[in-house]
């Protein structure tokens, strides 16, 4: 086993597991931009596959004058 050395207390900065900085911010911004690109692509694809509503938008004229 390793020799028992007295443990010295760590400062708050040394005890932190990760460092916040430009790398984390850049990764978050990149993920947000990629999510926006995917969202826009899905929106465009949804409009492309949607049936044309203008063909079915005209109301039908019945001989009863619109009354049931």
Q: What is the pLDDT of residues 7-65, one digit of tens each?
A: 888 888 778 777 667 888 899 999 999 999 999 999 999 999 987 766 555 566 666 66
Q: Quick one: pLDDT at residue 64?
A: 67
Question: Please, how many CA atoms are within 13 Å of residue 14, restricted to the half-sphere of its CB?
Answer: 4
Whole-Å CA distances, 57 to 14, 17, 28, 48: 67, 61, 44, 18
Query: Each residue of 39-57: b (16+ CB within 10 Å) or e?
Result: eeeeeeeeeeeeeeeeeee
| pLDDT value, residue 5 | 80
From CA 66, how far away is CA 56, in angstroms rounded?
18
Residue 2 has pLDDT above 80, yes or no: no
């Amino acid at each position: 086993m390793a020799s028992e050395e007295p443990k010295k207390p760590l400062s708050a900065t040394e005890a932190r597991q990760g460092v916040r900085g430009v790398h984390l911010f850049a990764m978050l911004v990149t993920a947000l931009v990629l999510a926006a690109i995917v969202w826009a692509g899905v929106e465009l694809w949804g409009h492309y596959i949607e049936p044309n509503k203008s063909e079915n938008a005209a109301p039908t004229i019945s001989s009863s004058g619109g009354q049931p």
